[in-house]
Structure 1
Amino acid sequence: MKKDIHPSNYKFVVFKDMSNGHMFLSRSTASSKETVQWEDGKEYPVVKLEISNTSHPFYTGKNVLVDTAGRIDKFKRRYEKRDK
């Protein structure tokens, strides 16, 4: 393997899924100014995620229905005034 190609600043970081509040501890090079106290009593930097495997529809098996009909109606109402 090649030497000196991998980062050397790996540390423990807590990742927090903001959509459902699920947190998990992992090693990463990501940095954050915010910290959180973990289950072991130690404080770790926390990196906020928009989505993780606990909230993604592919992994959970729950499909989220997108209100496309409502969006289309809203679009038509907004732009029908310009057509007249």
Structure 2
Amino acid sequence: MQQDKHPDYHPVVFRDRAAGYAFLTRSTATSEQTVEWDDGETYPVVDVEISAESHPFYTGKARTVDTEGRIARFERKYGEGQRQTSD
């Protein structure tokens, strides 16, 4: 592997402000802010808007799309008889 071609890969704390959750991982992300972690070490901290802790897909609070309502609106607008079907 060639030296000086890859960014610095180091431990970083990502903090989800919406969920009040933080996790330590390795990343190339950098930050001026630091936080003391549970192990007593100080790591750079990156604040994120959303993570798996607060994302609707992972928390089970995802919106369901009303496809039946969309189809009914389409048929009212363009007429039910105008749809072509293949037999």
TM interval, short-chain normalised: 0.5 to 0.7
- Letter matched to residue 42 of structure 1: E
Runs of 4+ in 1 over 4 A off after TM superposition: none
- Aligned length in residues: 64
- In the alignment, what sits opposite 2:17? 18
Unpaired runs of at least 5, structure 2? 64-87
Specify every segment of 5 or more residues in structure 1 that has no aligned partner in the other structure, as ranges.
Answer: 65-84
Identity value in percent: 53
Q: Which has the larger radius of gyration?
A: 2
Residue of structure 2 equivalent to 1:40: 39
How much does 1:20 deviate? Answer: 1.3
Deviation at 1:21, TM superposition (A): 1.3
- Per-residue deviation at 1:25? 0.3
Please provide the CA RMSD for this pair: 2.2
TM-score normalised over the length of structure 1:
0.66
